Amino acid sequence: MEKLSRRSINLAISSRALTTIKAIDGENGNLYHNLVTNATIPMKGRMIHITDGSLDSQLYSNKGECIYAIDRQKLNNALISEAESIPNVSFKFKSKIRAVNFDERELSYETTEGLQSDNRWDFMIGADGAHSVVRNQLMRVIRMNYAQEYIPHAYLELSIPPGPIDPETGEPSFLLDPNHLHIWPRQSFMLIALPNQDHSFTCTLFAPFEKFTELADNKDNFIQFFRQDFPDALKLMGEESAAEDYINNPKGSLVTIKCSPYHYKDRAVVLGDAAHSMVPFYGQGMNAGFEDVRVLLSLMDSEGVSSSKKVKHESLLNSLNRYSEERERDLKSIVNLAMGNYVEMRSKVINPIYLLRKQIDGVLNKVFRPPSVPSANILARTTFPTAANSGWMSLYELVTFRPDISYADAEEITKKRDKKLKNYTILTAFTVATISTIKIYKLLRDPR
């Protein structure tokens, strides 16, 4: 395989993707175990790097739940190897789709040998990313609603190298705590760092395009910027290395994409970024894409669609109709939530009200305990069996650790709870103020 480009935001994998892997892997499969054991590093919370140099560890869960930093290439290789072990599965690398005739089941694609065609397919799944050719071809034959929006921020990848060799293990050390996602929130911009298995960290700077324009391609400007806002990170990166990364690495754009419906007849469907590209601030882009697979397979199973028997046209069509109808609400929800989480990560994580709310959520979670997550076998057959109001969980926990609860239900129940908490807070404040006023009035009237 070709060497992967450095232009790639680190991947964070959590329960929704891992549940899908478990569901397709089966009871006797090793894919899930091999990935979690060999390709991931657990991150139990955020480590906030405050401007005064102090650190604040904010755990994701009071039950020890974590997300995982995962090696992109190891994930790709593991999935490809698993797919290649299945009979009749083949791969065509260095190929680009050019045109699709869904009704005639004709496909034109370009390789190093020129334009090729293929009419030996029955059903097409377009998982070809934010700039999906399959989606563009679908838009020619269906009335697809489509919206695309670039945000005014760009991203730049930097790196923190491995630390000195540990004499006990003989391996390099980590220069930061590897079991946290590190965040340097600075209001309108931020820096994050995720651990890698070679003991380095991949860092990503998110900032308005205007900031990059202001810095220009000038090493001195960049170093001065980091000395002022990220001095501890710059010290770990090394000034010369960080400046080289700044000059040589591209500044990437961030786009959100929403579309619907996701399918055409019983011929094709788009999944993942092809259907719902989102900004990376909730760590759910890949997780939502994996969950697409689980939801689609569950609906197909309920309609009697199986690879072990001849598929009826009506059964496949019904499952795709249901997928487009039922999945749209969830995918629009997570795209919006991802955008909102950027504001939280770059500014709210150091806000006293935000920190108080986290404490309230933690207390209520212990009082109103949610049910356990159903097994992957159950979730392979049922999309979202648990009600979002079962127990008390923060929005982040619902989104990240509850694959049995849909994104839209998680967002909806949280909005209702936020409204109730706000009303209770106002009522409590009014009551306290009233009682205090009465007491003061009585004291003033007391002649003694």
DSSP code string of 251-309? -EEEEEEEEE--EETTTEEE-THHHH---GGGS-HHHHHHHHHHHHHHHHHHTT--TTS
In a domain, 195, yes or no: yes
Read off the DSSP letter of residue 88: T
Contact of 380 with 294, CB cutoff 8 Å: yes
In a domain, 282, yes or no: yes
Q: What is the mean pLDDT of residues 276-301?
A: 96
* Together in a domain, 176 and 121: yes
Domain's final residue, options 317, 341, 365: 341
* Together in a domain, 251 and 398: no
Count CB neighbours of 221 within 10 A.
14
| Integer Cα distance of 338 and 258 in angstroms | 13
Measured between alpha carbons, how far is residue 203 from residues 14, 254, 426 in Å? 20, 16, 41
- Residue 243: give its domain's CATH number: 3.50.50.60
Q: What percent of the chain has pLDDT over 90?
A: 67
Predicted pLDDT at 447: 56
Ramachandran quadrant class, 36 (left: phi over 0; alpha: psi -120 to 50; beta: rest): alpha
Predicted pLDDT at 14: 96
Query: Cα angle at 234 between 229 and 237, to 5 degrees?
Result: 155
**Count of the separate structural domains present in the chain:** 2
Q: What percent of the chain has pLDDT over 70?
A: 92
- With a cut of 60, say whether residue 258 has pLDDT above it: yes
In a domain, 446, yes or no: no
| Integer Cα distance of 377 and 373 in angstroms | 11
- Secondary structure, 3-state, 153-220: EEEEEEEECCCCECCCCCCECCCCCCCEEEEEEECCEEEEEEECCCCCEEEEEEEEHHHHHHHCCCHH
Predicted pLDDT at 5: 45
Task: For 14-31, write each residue's pLDDT tens digit.
Answer: 999 999 999 988 777 788
| Integer Cα distance of 437 and 430 in angstroms | 10
Q: Please give the residue range of the domain that contains residue 33.
A: 10-341
* Together in a domain, 356 and 334: no
Predicted pLDDT at 432: 62
Q: What is the mean pLDDT of residues 67-91?
A: 90
| Integer Cα distance of 22 and 403 in angstroms | 12
Measured between alpha carbons, how far is residue 326 from residues 321, 323, 407, 434 in Å? 9, 5, 12, 48
Mean pLDDT of the chain: 90
pTM of the model: 0.89
In a domain, 168, yes or no: yes
* Together in a domain, 115 and 227: yes
Who wins on pLDDT, 206 or 429? 206
- With a cut of 80, say whether residue 110 has pLDDT above it: yes
Q: Provide the token pair at 435.
A: 């009682």
* Together in a domain, 148 and 247: yes
Site of tokens 């150091």: 350
* Together in a domain, 133 and 238: yes
Q: Rounded to the nearest 10 degrees, what angle do helices 31-38 and 72-84 cross at?
A: 160
Domain's final residue, options 320, 341, 362: 341
* Together in a domain, 219 and 333: yes
Predicted pLDDT at 445: 66
Strands 96-101 vs 106-111: parallel, antiparallel or unpaired: antiparallel
* Together in a domain, 231 and 265: yes
pLDDT tier, 3 (very low <50, low <70, confident <90, very high otherwise): very low
In a domain, 310, yes or no: yes
Query: Cα angle at 333 between 265 and 280, to 5 degrees?
Result: 105
Count CB neighbours of 292 within 10 A.
26
Predicted pLDDT at 4: 42
Helix (H, G, I), strand (E, B) or coil at 89: coil
In a domain, 86, yes or no: yes
| Integer Cα distance of 198 and 74 in angstroms | 13
261: preceding bond cis by omega (within 30 degrees): yes
In a domain, 447, yes or no: no
* Together in a domain, 254 and 233: yes
Domain's final residue, options 284, 312, 341: 341
Count CB neighbours of 77 within 10 A.
13
Q: What is the mean pLDDT of residues 271-300?
A: 97
* Together in a domain, 361 and 412: yes
Q: What is the mean pLDDT of residues 339-344?
A: 84
* Together in a domain, 145 and 205: yes
| Integer Cα distance of 228 and 236 in angstroms | 15
| Integer Cα distance of 409 and 291 in angstroms | 15
Ramachandran quadrant class, 263 (left: phi over 0; alpha: psi -120 to 50; beta: rest): beta
**List of E strands, 82-176:** 96-101, 106-111, 114-118, 124-126, 145-160
* Phi, psi for 356 (deg, rounded to 5): -65, -40
Query: Cα angle at 252 between 250 and 257, to 5 degrees?
Result: 160
Count CB neighbours of 313 within 10 A.
9
* Together in a domain, 356 and 297: no
In a domain, 2, yes or no: no
